A and B are shown apart, each in its own frame.
Chain A
Amino acid sequence: MANISVFLCKCFGEIDNTVDFDFLRKELSKNPSIVLISTVDSLCLETDIEKTVSRIKESNSEKVLIAACSILSRGNLVVESLIKEGIERHKIGLVDIREGCAWIHGDDPAGVTKKAKDLINIGIAALQHKELSDDMSVTVHPNALIIGAGPAGLAAAISLAKTRFKVNILERSKAPGGMLRLISRCYPGNEDASNKLEPYIREVENNPLITFYPQSKIASIEGDTGNFTVHFSSQEKDSSIKSGVIIIATGAKIFFPTGLYGYGEIKNVITQMEFERQILNGSLETKKPVFIQCVGARDKKRPYCSTICCPISLKNASRIAEDVPGASVFILHRGIMTPGNTLEKYYRDTLASGVQFIRFEEEHPPRIIGSDHVESVEVYDAITGITRKIETDLVVLSTPLVPNNDNAQLAKMMDIEVDRYGFFSEIYPMHPLETKTDGIFICGSARWPVSSDNSILQGKAAAMKAVSYLRQSKITASTLSRVPGLKAGHARVVTESCTGCGNCVAACPFNACHLEKMEGRYISVVNMMKCKACGSCVSVCPNGSVQIPEHNYRMVGEMIKMAF
């Protein structure tokens, strides 16, 4: 057993007024492994920390136990300053006898001292049996890979190039631009999409740090944070890139509402995207358009709101109302979604431009009248209760964005998750744009349908998150923590006793465990870059072969023994 020095903090009477320190000292001195028991007025004062450190160094103790306040108040400060003085982290134990003991059991003098004694004994047991996890580090490839060259991907690429990192962009189609190439104007500023896109494309073409791979298809992705290898084909040529981080900006897909409102059968029933195309090639001729919202969205199959269809309708409706003399424009909606200050103003401007809004209910969708050519739309006005018939020459269906078909496949390659609809999912709630695998980020409509402005914003944000990885020459596994501070450790497998049952592989929420064949049998291997020390594997292992050294089996057993 290692020699331990124990420091009891009085906290200027906060603790020693209720806890009997004389009794504590008497009890603790019975333990042969305790070589020093010292009472301090307040450990968090700088002078006392100096005194503490010199006392630790004078005594022949290997480990230090501090009985003071909780790690969430000033306990952490004490531990950190001891680490600064050269004492290793795993050799310091902190027991909370203020918040967890003195302050809550003040009316029970016998119980509070007994509890303090037990807590210190638990702390000593933990300190005696605590071990240190292994660690590893990976050399970072100082370049980024961006999948998708839409607004999000382009913005991310340019932000990364500005910070002097090499960027490779893989794009499915021939040219960069994504969905911005299919539309004429962007809301809420009503600027031309081509104008918005032009500086980005010029930068991608001219910046020597950015390499663009058109018509590319990803075959496989391997490796871990800081060291991904992507095998892909671009223009029928196979190649592979090593990359430190991956940013997914694959965007989303347009939903075609086949069978809804006679789409595909009746002429002049089109989607918003076809409307945009007609504007772009100048073939649009309409005086009395009717826009129908929430087509294939906010229903049983797709209960989500696609967030972009209402502003798109506002944009196109107000454009017709303002540009075409004598136009009568209707928007049939189920509640207009315009969050934020700019979009709400956009809605009010559209109202002022003379566009008429009629609210319908999900149970009474509008009816298209006309067999091969639309003549009118019949709608039950949910507010007045009157069924109205609107003469029209064009029906525009606002359809949601839906996830790309190959999202699940791509997610499997990168070991990340998709949500129940098929969009890439981030870590909810405190890690926006980050995925289950560190070093892989999502942005734009691959994550959730967003406007081009928000795509650009998210692309830049993802780039900045990526820089925090790229700027390190080496990434140490223990720093890849989702929680404040370092990781608690890494799971360790005892290869001699591991039976290769695979329970840990099934239980690991980060896919950090896998089975490997070794000397004719399977054993579990932990990937430390992925392990987050949650301990799921520890509690399903049938024979205790996998342990977290910082919280091992023997230590928990001893702690429980000492609990009362």
Chain B
Amino acid sequence: MNQPRILIFACKWCGFIGADAAGKKRTSLPSQFRIIPVECASLVETDAILRALAGGIDGIAVLGCHIGGCRYNNANHTAIKRLELLQDLLDTTGIGRSRLLLSFGTAHEDYQFEEIIKNFFDELILLPPLDPWLSPFGVIS
């Protein structure tokens, strides 16, 4: 059975550090995830997530800092609001909110990152694979 494919947008100050710590500990993790480090979770555009889903990536995770712990003066608050709206949008389009994992302040330790990724894989494996949409990048780029 094919492993689901996950793209992670990790805030450089929390999620990325957690992922790095998991790496240092040599935790065994499924290989089908890729991390794109970002300055702050608020830099993750909704279109980037939609592009990724359209390109056939099964799940997107956005990992940020905990509420009140943002290095950019609570920029992650707006990110949460916006991305939760996107989850609603994904529900109405039938893609489902479970394909977008939002986790703030829960991935800055190695074991937390490990747990989040493994659980997300377990969730996604139950869902049907997302087929790449024809001409997904034609409109914008």
Contact = CB atoms under 8 A, between A and B. Distances in A.
14 contacts: A96-B23, A100-B20, A101-B31, A104-B23, A105-B29, A428-B68, A482-B72, A483-B13, A483-B71, A539-B45, A554-B141, A557-B51, A557-B140, A564-B32
A68 interface: no
Contact of B43 (A73, A96, A539): A539
Given A488-B39, A563-B34, A106 B20 contact: no
Contacts of B70: 509
A539 B28 contact: no
Nearest to B72: A534
Interface string A542-563: 0000001001011011111101
A36 to B, nearest CB: 25
Nearest to A428: B68
Contacts of A429: 69
Given A534-B39, A535-B43, A560-B52, A540 B82 contact: yes
Nearest to A534: B72
**Across chains A and B, which 5 residue pairs bring their CB atoms closest together, nearest first?**
A99-B23, A535-B43, A111-B31, A534-B72, A509-B73
A551 B39 contact: yes
A70 B3 CA distance: 25
B31 A560 contact: no
Given A99-B20, A532-B72, A557-B141, A122 B43 contact: no
A540 B75 CA distance: 12
B27 A539 contact: no
Interface in B36-76: 36, 38-40, 42-46, 48, 51-52, 55-57, 68-75
A557 B136 CA distance: 11
Contacts of B140: 553, 557
Given A100-B19, A509-B72, A539-B44, A561 B137 contact: yes
Given A536-B79, A561-B55, 18 more contacts: A100-B23, A103-B23, A104-B22, A104-B27, A108-B30, A507-B42, A507-B78, A510-B73, A534-B73, A534-B75, A535-B40, A535-B42, A540-B82, A551-B38, A554-B141, A557-B51, A558-B141, A560-B36
A185 interface: no
Interface in B98-118: none
Interface residues of B, number: 47
Given A106-B26, A536-B42, A538-B45, A122 B34 contact: yes
B14 interface: no
A70 B48 contact: no
Most chain A C-beta atoms within 10 Å of own C-beta, residue among B46, B74, B75, B140: B75
A99 to B, nearest CB: 3
Interface in A159-186: none
B79 A539 contact: yes
Nearest to A539: B45
Given A534-B42, A556-B48, A482 B26 contact: no
Interface of B: 5, 7, 13, 17, 19-20, 22-24, 26-32, 34-36, 38-40, 42-46, 48, 51-52, 55-57, 68-75, 78-79, 82, 137, 140-141
A559 B36 CA distance: 8
Contacts of A105: 28-31
A534 B43 contact: yes
Interface stretch (A112-120, A229-237, A282-290): A112-120
Nearest to A510: B73
A507 B40 CA distance: 14
A533 interface: yes
Contacts, number: 144
A136 interface: no
Contacts of B30: 105, 108, 111
A330 to B, nearest CB: 41
A480 to B, nearest CB: 13
A114 B31 CA distance: 9
A436 interface: yes
Contacts of A551: 38-39, 43
B31 A563 contact: no
Contacts of B141: 553-554, 557-558
A98 interface: yes
Interface in A65-115: 70, 72-73, 96, 98-101, 103-108, 111-112, 114-115
Contacts of B137: 557, 561
B38 A70 contact: no
B75 A118 contact: no
A435 B19 CA distance: 31
A105 B48 CA distance: 27
Most chain B C-beta atoms within 10 Å of own C-beta, residue among A70, A482, A551: A70
B55 A536 contact: no
Contacts of B56: 564
Given A119-B34, A428-B68, A429-B69, A553 B45 contact: yes
A538 B28 contact: no
A535 B34 contact: no
A439 B15 CA distance: 30
Nearest to B46: A539
Contacts of A538: 43, 45
Contact of A107 (B24, B28, B48): B28
Contacts of B71: 482-483
